[in-house]
Amino acid sequence: MVSMLDIRIKHACPGTAVACRTMGTTLGQRIREAREARGWSQLRLGESVGVSRAAVSQWESGESKGLRPENLVAAARALAVNVEWLVTGVGAMRPDELAAGEGRSDYPLIDWSTAARWPDIGRNAYRVGAEEWLPSPVPLGPAAFVLRVRGCSMAPRLLEGELVYIDPDRPPVHGGIVLVLPGGATEPVLRELIVEGDRRVLRASNPDWPDPLRALSGLDTLIGSVAARLERF
């Protein structure tokens, strides 16, 4: 039985689908583009689809001559891209709701310099070169992301190496931990938020931290609130 996907592959790529170029790219290049945009290794994609890392490498290089339609569908689902785009290069890379950041089930683990720019790129998180994508233990907004704690300024509440889920859509509350980019700084900091009437103060939880208190000023950018933490060292 010939599926609609078989027909699309043969129509888009007469002879050999893998080697055919459409819209300026090959199928292998699109697989690699989608995989890297998701922050996945070839091994992780292979595990999600049910094939070896070597098989994924062959897909991307164009060496594979036996890329099955069911594997293409599985790869598209795992990478959260449109099947038609993956097969033909035509149309949007991702469904509209994913391109807008809606319906996300896992979140990018990013570095601190990327976190500093998050207010500008959060809704396009799928374009970020994340270290990996992680499921969340709690409901999060579409622009949420994951950060690895470094340093000891927030000990004992947060320990170095822990992963924290930052949600820009979660309102900051008294006693909660927030991620803030101080005015003029290039990287953000994690601090406890203390609300005293109209005054908001940032506090380092470590009692031995130098200058543990500072007022949240109009020059600071509040990036998001810590919604969950994951101990993984």
Q: What is the pLDDT of residue 122?
A: 61
Do you know the residue count of the chain? 233
The pTM score is 0.57
Q: What is the pLDDT of residue 18?
A: 36
Note the helical H segments in 62-111.
69-79, 83-88, 96-99
**Do residues 162 and 231 make contact, with C-beta atoms less than 8 angstroms apart?**
yes
Query: Considering only CA atoms, which of 95, 123, 93 is closest in space to residue 29?
Result: 93
Topology (CATH) of 4-94: 434 Repressor (Amino-terminal Domain) (1.10.260)
Degrees to nearest 5, angle at CA 204 with 193 and 231: 90
Phi, psi angle pair for 221, to nearest 5°? -115, 120
Q: What is the pLDDT of residue 222?
A: 93
CB atoms within 10 A of CB 93: 19
Q: What is the pLDDT of residue 102?
A: 47
In the chain, where the domains are located: 4-94, 106-230
pLDDT in tens, 189-209: 999 999 988 889 999 999 999
> CB within 8 A of 96, min separation 6: which ones?
none
Q: What is the pLDDT of residue 156?
A: 93
**Do residues 97 and 103 make contact, with C-beta atoms less than 8 angstroms apart?**
yes
In this structure, what token pair is assigned to residue 65? 């001559």
Q: What is the pLDDT of residue 96?
A: 45
Give pLDDT < 70 ranges for the chain.
1-24, 65-66, 94-105, 122-129, 231-233
Superfamily name and number for 106-230: Umud Fragment, subunit A (2.10.109.10)
Query: Considering only CA atoms, which of 113, 106, 154, 150 is closest in space to residue 132?
Result: 106
